[in-house]
Chains A and B, each alone.
Chain A
Amino acid sequence: MYDGGKIIPGLIIFVLFITFPVWYNRGNAGAVPQPELPKKFKECVLPYADMRAEHMQLLNRWRDQVLRTGDWGFDVKIGDTMYQKSLMNTCMQCHTSKKKFCDRCHTYASVKPYCWDCHIAPVE
């Protein structure tokens, strides 16, 4: 290999640089966030684990069903009550705080969903 003396240290520096976040935190993932759940309500659209894993797919599905298929009606059953498929008018009616519910996990996972560019978060 030509210039091996330059290439190998260069590669090492590069690998160290891009793995900086990992070794800087010493492999520790930090405190797991605790989103604040609504106190008055116990039940959600899907069981807890499914909501945690798939709420984004659910929201996308709802979006397409409402907007594109035109299913605006109250056809989501939670407990004994029927709700609309709506982020603002259903989800956020129970989860009244975006900061304590959505943002805690999203900030931790460093995801920036663009929901709130248009949808209006509850007043806090």
Chain B
Amino acid sequence: MDKKRRDFLKIAGATTLAGLGGPAVVERLVSGTSPAQAKAAHGAETHGVVSEHEKENAPTGRRLGMVVDLRQLKKHPELMEKIVHACHAQHNVPHFPNKKDEIKWIWRTEFDKAFTEHSHYHKDKLTIANDVLVFCNHCDEPPCVKACPTRATFKTKDGIVAMDYHRCIGCRFCMAACPYGSRSFNWRDPRAGLDMNRINRHFPTRMRGVVEKCNFCAELVGLGKLPKCVEVCGSTRAMIFGDLNDPDSEIRKVLKDNFTIQRKPSLGTHPSVFYIV
């Protein structure tokens, strides 16, 4: 082998190594600015030596959250179906009869499925009778965002865990990472499960091969409106929406006045959705 070729290979090897390590370092420097820093793990159990409340930093941005009042949902038995339907109609979520193809953003489930960490020895009447609405928790420490290799799922400046369907490669790593089962995959063309004459013409559908989930109605909230589910609840106030980092917000008042629980708080995901039982 002649000298030039050997030199070339040496340089090529060195640049390859630099190339492998370089981007990671740069990314590290650029990122690391998580907007909503307050954890506000409310109620439920606290893990670790320092309690979550003590750790609470000064809020640096908005962190949108939700309180679901299960008492109100019980009082208005028709409400849950209405909410689910309104959400799915707003976002053109397809309906497939085959469970294998199922896509859902918000759905009704039993209490012990939503709260798997709670003890159920001799359940009280309320727990047995009460179903729960579950949807994306818009965690402050979302495992799905960490898992996504393309930043197709990410946290917005309002603390919403959003999806960029243009970018998703459909690897479904986020589905494995989500501890709440909040994510659905488009196993087939979603338009096959929609009545294209009755869809919401102001919101897109998805295409096959991407993951989707509740977006906290970013398209409505961005215009200063309430999420669809909250709007449907109306005066029942079964769902309360607002900025968890704003001490004067309605949601903060509700959190202060009620005992609330979160789903799987021990996992450190810091859900932004709270439940009043």
Contacts and interface: CB of A to CB of B under 8 A. Distances in A.
5 contacts: A68-B156, A114-B207, A117-B207, A119-B204, A120-B201
B154 A68 contact: yes
Size band of the interface chain A makes with B:
10 to 19
Contacts of A120: 199, 201, 204-205
Contacts of B202: 88-89
A89 B202 CA distance: 6
A66 B223 CA distance: 11
Nearest to A60: B166
Contacts of A123: 201
A68 B222 contact: no
A114 B218 CA distance: 23
A118 interface: yes
Interface of B: 154, 156-158, 160, 162, 164-166, 199, 201-207, 218-219, 221-223
Contacts of B204: 88, 118-120
Contacts of B154: 68
Residue of A72, A114, A123 with highest tally of chain B CB at under 10 A = A72
A118 B165 contact: yes
B201 A72 contact: no
A123 B198 CA distance: 12
A70 interface: yes
A75 B204 CA distance: 21
A21 interface: no
B186 to A, nearest CB: 10
A67 B157 CA distance: 11
B218 A72 contact: yes
Interface in A105-124: 114, 117-120, 123
Contacts of B221: 72
Nearest to A68: B164
